[in-house]
Structure 1
């Protein structure tokens, strides 16, 4: 039997202010990650990171909300997406702590456009959703103890304004006889809707009662809270806008208006222009009013979120958390003496060069800010990484803790280091990331330990040359070679027990010029532009935990040592020989002239000429055999080619099959030798024709290359595996399973599957019940971790498989 156990999920958060929420009872934080909803426990002492991806949506998730209904302590998640649907997720088990695995229990398809905002009315089972179709929908949600969900439409509200898209919704029950909904978005006013209780005791329909002016840009966030816990207390509404300001509005119960708030002298001319017009609405004998309360000035760029918190590390104290594109979070509090709202804590990156270059990985600032009741803050940056701060009473400030993160776009390339000690990935988000296991006190957990490359082009592929060197290919038509710096070698040695040969001779670290794409090596003590000596090593040497996001984006670059030229288009495939002495590469092409494979020597970085010509379209896969005797290539021309090594570093065409598949071949892999004396060479190819074919090379490979023997006589079809969809990635387990080869493959729907191929060519599928759904999108690469774990007592007879998918990097322990 083959079983999979999730070891690591690396996935970045979506850039949408409403795409995250924190469940206060369980401590579970849910956030949109591509098309999925990712689940994470920031307070997990074992630091296991993301525990699950909820797969179901067919486009990016815009909004995530926990439903505050009466379902015990079980968290219920509501998510909305660009795919126009709303999905409901519940723990699979009635007792949440017994099984934290979530499943989809309902799907709502009532909107005709992207769902951008969701709000729950506390104390009821009502949910309000807003869409780009310019409508609000109000519906009720009920979930039984057996996870049977039902929803019922209640009311539609048409916003009746051209080009007005709701981006934020806040709702609250002001009293037993009146409910309020606030709506904002691509309009500079906050719309207020209320519904009163009718004479028969039932709640009526919502109608607009006010339109609050003042903002000069789109309004991205709304939040309402009660000012004090006493009955009859006023409510405060916060609206955050792209005009860089936060406006506070007071909702007062009673015919008399509230006392005017003190004017903040720091506002200057702003204070004279602020309107204090009262907006009144009635419900039976109750009268409420809305008046402007305060203008919060302190951010230098768009403000994405503003959230209230009443229970925090200081006891009872009303505070407001704002997240901005200026790379900062601000905690606001009302001064007891002056009654002016002031910033009591500011977190993040305060810099004159904030986000000015992608070299920092921080362009775009913070997209969301969340509170947790015990004095913890969390925020996601444009780089997809979550940062966490916890209040430390001993220092009287918030201290940053370990977060999670990952690529924000599809992961296109993946590679283990040559010794299997760490994992490298490249993505369309223009970054390369290094993941490794943090080992301490008998525990292990995967984390991002370095961001070696932050580029200006989409990165397509990557290959490891030796334990401290890798090469990557991008849309810029060339390849770049990087060496591990001494600072990272020291970090990996101390926290991951990874030894790097020759670490003492490596450059200390690397930096990137503001207008450049090449990482420049920096020695242990180099003067900066002002002549001051900087010590780069100390920042990472002192770490007793994986690097935090600000350290990853600034201190963990790898120095670039070489560029390899020659291709005329975007790099499509890369492979390094087992010895690391040769590099094979290909680029996108539509003719035989350009569909060549170029070989380079890693000893002097010179191209081995002439290039290998044989394909007529883009080469999509390259793979060296275990002994480097053969190079296998596959491509869009439905052809596989075997290139055989001759004298020196020359490879020549040895066998070619132009009709191996009926559609393009997307991936290929070699079957590991069964033993050192096994002379059979077998490789597999997989394509869009939904088939995996295994091919066996004849024992006598010493026939001269100019021998015109037909490819079908040199290589025979050994076995065929039929799949249920186009196959985008294939790999073969490094060790046999019950005497058979285990072929694992991924498809364009994000599912892993497998089959066992016996020595006689018979095929038997594994149990489909053990096939995990990795992603809601395409799987781009599969790679087994081989050398390191042969003596790894943790896994025993298990193996580790790395997966590159549309929505992140995943590591699975496979148990045989």
Structure 2
């Protein structure tokens, strides 16, 4: 088959719903945890660039060294570093090279925490020296010294400087800073469940001691952030600390050198003058701490506060100007920017931006860009929200495109009938459509992938999906943790949006010729059924919403379906891209588990979770009338995957009972079908998770928890014979997908997904005997073992090759994968 190269085209993933999970670096890249992977995305391109494998548990927090606050010390650095901590207490250090644009695993921090890491904070002392602290629910805070290599071949040197025991009062927020007027002493602020801000003073070599407690908050401390030292009369003599809490309040504390306190008292007394607090000592210096201001404005818990970083444009040498500007993010779905008034010095809310979504909860964190002209939030729905200040003379914040994806395990994927888009379903109770969007500004094709629609927002975890091919409008069937399969039909707004999205090489306009009278859909109050909005009813709906000012369950404003000329942002996806539900398929007695549709678009097969033969029945549904036309009995436990052969003459089913079944499907008339069990065989020693037909014949592959893949053939006499078995894999085989490369020579590629998240491509070439009844594959060969940085970090749940017509002679193909790590990935396979 020659050489095979694989490139990653797209990664879609949502953010873990954890407070300290996101970090924006001085290199202008954002790191966040997606299940047990660390994902990196570029705000400028709105694309996830890569995922970093290594954690065995959910990633709780990330922290860049240097982050946006220390961009002043990052100029000229060729390498940036990232820390990530997980729910088992492990902390990993990563290295990113700006020259080669590549990532490298550096080390696991030794002596990890015994329980989950709750927060990581750090400080750049010089370009090669840093300190970082980590807190954990095991009741300890560890402080580490880190020396970066000065040469290309050098290694990082890590040393544990201090271990602070805080007991049962778990600390969930940390911040480190250098004390003003002293280049050797540091201050560490920590806050948590006891409603107090604790200050520890120490040196660069450790020796931290408890200095004081700052009282005032009446609920858990959720976020702390030190400003850089403030300059007064040319001297750095003060420091500001901002804290936020679940009491909905934000407090600003001022730390001033005692020699500067007397000068401050001579200034005009105003509302901004501080209330004296404790005095702390560090070395020969003493510091007065006072409450500078109390900010009230949010209506719910304030999860995040952060000082605006110095602007790079204002830097001269090593001097900087710390902007008096604070960003706060709250569970009330808003982010606010606070600044003091020029005349009175009273801190005011000057900017407020927010989220419009179906979920009741808001933001877990807010972050400044390195230049301070953009702000980023991550929310309960695993989504990012990015606003950029595009104003010239006054602030004007506009939402920007960001990457998106599922925030729970992605259970199934399916390509559109001609491969125009990819649809995925997840345990986050959403169905999403991803597609390449033509980039007008770039040369060549220049397509970048984005989420273009969210057809279904459901009240149950969704387990399976099947696109219905064939003529007519675009439709799909989905099955969730309920006993009903639901059929959805593409609205006119989606068809027009896709016509704007796809490149000119594809022809999506044919779909617009279908007489579609439905413009979009509305979400019901319970979040289960989605009601259609008809084209002729659009104006009536708008008038009704405008004329009735009363809000009740009967007068909830309807969504307004929209046609997009550029990739939609989160608020638009959540409200304006729903598909109407056209049918419900009742019959199964348990939760839906697997779905598939034949290649003519006439039959849908479904299965549900089962512990008995009666519940393990496979139901056949007729597309169009949606009548149940068959009940196929063969298995005694859950049927895990179903697939029709490419000529639609056979239906293959694999099950938890370690058996596969092959049924023949005969269409005796326009609406009548007959079916017969051709073969049933115990094929593996453990659960069979996956199966896939050969696109050019009646061979199929099965993959099992016993770490094996077997190749089978259906003979003319309707008997099934084992043709080959692949060498045993390193972990359970969870997903399979067979693609045809050359129909004349019967060459094919089998994509294999493992429970470890790794992906492999194997070549399968089928040779047939003269009588045509016996099929013998040549020895299977591994083509590609994908690099771990390109693979999933948890179990691969499904693989799917993009449809390739028989006449295509292209040596480039695409396949998609989804997994328990919340990721949807698309790969380009080039055969040289």
> Structure 2 length normalisation: TM-score?
0.87
The question of 1:427 aligning with 2:426 is answered yes
494 and 178 in structure 1: CA distance in 2 versus 1, 3 angstrom threshold: same
After superposition, give the CA deviation of every residue in 1:376-398 in whole Å (9 maximum; x if it has no partner). 11111222222211111247311
Shift of 1:304: 1.0
* Match of residue 381 from structure 2: 383
* Match of residue 707 from structure 1: none
Shift of 1:109: 4.2
* Match of residue 811 from structure 1: 826
The answer to whether the 8 A contact 2:229-2:236 is kept is: no
CA distance in 1, matches of 2:711, 2:30: 44
CA distance in 2, matches of 1:743, 1:240: 53
Q: State which of 575, 588, 593 in structure 1 corresponds to 2:614.
A: 593
The question of 1:35 aligning with 2:52 is answered no
CA distance in 2, matches of 1:733, 1:292: 67
The answer to whether the 8 A contact 2:279-2:288 is kept is: yes
The answer to whether the 8 A contact 1:413-1:804 is kept is: yes
After superposition, give the CA deviation of every residue in 1:719-762 in whole Å (9 maximum; x if it has no partner). 11122221000111232498632211111110001322232423
Q: State which of 450, 456, 460 in structure 2 corresponds to 1:457.
A: 460
After superposition, give the CA deviation of every residue in 1:220-249 in whole Å (9 maximum; x if it has no partner). 111000363443231110111111111110
**Number of paired residues?**
762
* Match of residue 770 from structure 2: none
* Match of residue 814 from structure 2: 800
CA distance in 2, matches of 1:262, 1:575: 74
* Match of residue 664 from structure 1: 687
768 and 491 in structure 1: CA distance in 2 versus 1, 3 angstrom threshold: closer
555 and 539 in structure 1: CA distance in 2 versus 1, 3 angstrom threshold: closer
CA distance in 2, matches of 1:788, 1:188: 64
The answer to whether the 8 A contact 1:641-1:653 is kept is: no
Give 3-state SS (helix, strand or coil) of 1:527's partner. helix
* Match of residue 363 from structure 1: 360
5 Å-filtered alignment, 1:81-92, equals 81-91=86-96
Alignment RMSD: 2.5
Give 3-state SS (helix, strand or coil) of 1:531's partner. helix
Range with bigger deviation, 79-88 or 124-133: 124-133
* Match of residue 554 from structure 2: none
544 and 505 in structure 1: CA distance in 2 versus 1, 3 angstrom threshold: closer
* Match of residue 545 from structure 1: 566
5 Å-filtered alignment, 1:235-314, equals 235-255=239-259, 256=261, 258-259=264-265, 276-312=275-311
Shift of 1:579: 1.1
Q: State which of 522, 525, 536 in structure 2 corresponds to 1:511.
A: 522
Shift of 1:506: 3.5
Q: State which of 687, 690, 709 in structure 2 corresponds to 1:692.
A: 709
CA distance in 1, matches of 2:428, 2:794: 16
The question of 1:486 aligning with 2:485 is answered no
The answer to whether the 8 A contact 1:426-1:459 is kept is: yes
> Structure 1 length normalisation: TM-score?
0.89
Q: State which of 444, 448, 466 in structure 2 corresponds to 1:445.
A: 448
CA distance in 1, matches of 2:397, 2:110: 40
CA distance in 2, matches of 1:782, 1:194: 54
* Match of residue 711 from structure 1: none
Q: State which of 520, 527, 536 in structure 1 corresponds to 2:531.
A: 520
CA distance in 2, matches of 1:790, 1:147: 54
CA distance in 2, matches of 1:758, 1:788: 19
Shift of 1:311: 2.8
The answer to whether the 8 A contact 1:508-1:536 is kept is: no
176 and 22 in structure 1: CA distance in 2 versus 1, 3 angstrom threshold: same
Shift of 1:177: 3.6
The answer to whether the 8 A contact 1:226-1:234 is kept is: no
* Match of residue 140 from structure 1: 145
CA distance in 2, matches of 1:437, 1:220: 39
The question of 1:758 aligning with 2:765 is answered yes
* Match of residue 357 from structure 1: none
307 and 142 in structure 1: CA distance in 2 versus 1, 3 angstrom threshold: same
The answer to whether the 8 A contact 2:327-2:335 is kept is: yes
CA distance in 1, matches of 2:463, 2:154: 42
The answer to whether the 8 A contact 1:310-1:318 is kept is: no
CA distance in 2, matches of 1:22, 1:789: 47
* Match of residue 159 from structure 2: 152
After superposition, give the CA deviation of every residue in 1:773-802 in whole Å (9 maximum; x if it has no partner). 52111000000101479769xxx4111111
CA distance in 1, matches of 2:359, 2:429: 13
Give 3-state SS (helix, strand or coil) of 1:487's partner. helix
147 and 384 in structure 1: CA distance in 2 versus 1, 3 angstrom threshold: farther
The answer to whether the 8 A contact 1:334-1:340 is kept is: yes
29 and 99 in structure 1: CA distance in 2 versus 1, 3 angstrom threshold: same
The answer to whether the 8 A contact 1:19-1:62 is kept is: yes
CA distance in 1, matches of 2:156, 2:807: 47
Range with bigger deviation, 524-533 or 12-21: 524-533
Q: State which of 659, 669, 682 in structure 1 corresponds to 2:699.
A: 682
28 and 102 in structure 1: CA distance in 2 versus 1, 3 angstrom threshold: farther
771 and 310 in structure 1: CA distance in 2 versus 1, 3 angstrom threshold: closer
Q: Which runs of 5+ in 2 are unaligned?
A: 67-72, 315-320, 548-556, 767-775
* Match of residue 210 from structure 2: 208
CA distance in 1, matches of 2:88, 2:742: 42
Range with bigger deviation, 82-91 or 738-747: 738-747
Shift of 1:765: 3.0
Shift of 1:121: 2.6
After superposition, give the CA deviation of every residue in 1:408-454 in whole Å (9 maximum; x if it has no partner). 01100100111211100000000000001101323200000000001
Q: Which runs of 5+ in 1 are unaligned?
A: 197-201, 266-270, 355-359, 674-679, 702-713
Give 3-state SS (helix, strand or coil) of 1:108's partner. coil
Q: State which of 126, 131, 139 in structure 1 corresponds to 2:136.
A: 131
CA distance in 2, matches of 1:654, 1:410: 34
CA distance in 1, matches of 2:516, 2:682: 50
CA distance in 1, matches of 2:313, 2:249: 26
Give 3-state SS (helix, strand or coil) of 1:626's partner. coil
The answer to whether the 8 A contact 1:261-1:294 is kept is: no
* Match of residue 677 from structure 1: none
Give 3-state SS (helix, strand or coil) of 2:749's partner. strand
The answer to whether the 8 A contact 1:362-1:553 is kept is: no
390 and 67 in structure 1: CA distance in 2 versus 1, 3 angstrom threshold: same
The answer to whether the 8 A contact 1:671-1:681 is kept is: yes
CA distance in 2, matches of 1:470, 1:204: 60
Give 3-state SS (helix, strand or coil) of 1:233's partner. strand
* Match of residue 663 from structure 2: 643
After superposition, give the CA deviation of every residue in 1:295-322 in whole Å (9 maximum; x if it has no partner). 1111111111100014359965321001
CA distance in 2, matches of 1:221, 1:789: 58
* Match of residue 85 from structure 2: 80
Give 3-state SS (helix, strand or coil) of 2:195's partner. strand
Q: State which of 391, 395, 412 in structure 2 corresponds to 1:393.
A: 391
* Match of residue 66 from structure 1: 64
Q: State which of 121, 124, 136 in structure 2 corresponds to 1:122.
A: 124
Give 3-state SS (helix, strand or coil) of 1:540's partner. coil
CA distance in 1, matches of 2:461, 2:142: 39
CA distance in 1, matches of 2:653, 2:333: 45
Range with bigger deviation, 620-629 or 523-532: 523-532
Shift of 1:655: 2.5
Shift of 1:527: 3.2
Give 3-state SS (helix, strand or coil) of 2:414's partner. strand
After superposition, give the CA deviation of every residue in 1:489-546 in whole Å (9 maximum; x if it has no partner). 11111122533244552411111122341111112314349724799998733x4310
Shift of 1:83: 2.1
After superposition, give the CA deviation of every residue in 1:546-569 in whole Å (9 maximum; x if it has no partner). 001100001000000011011111
* Match of residue 188 from structure 2: 181
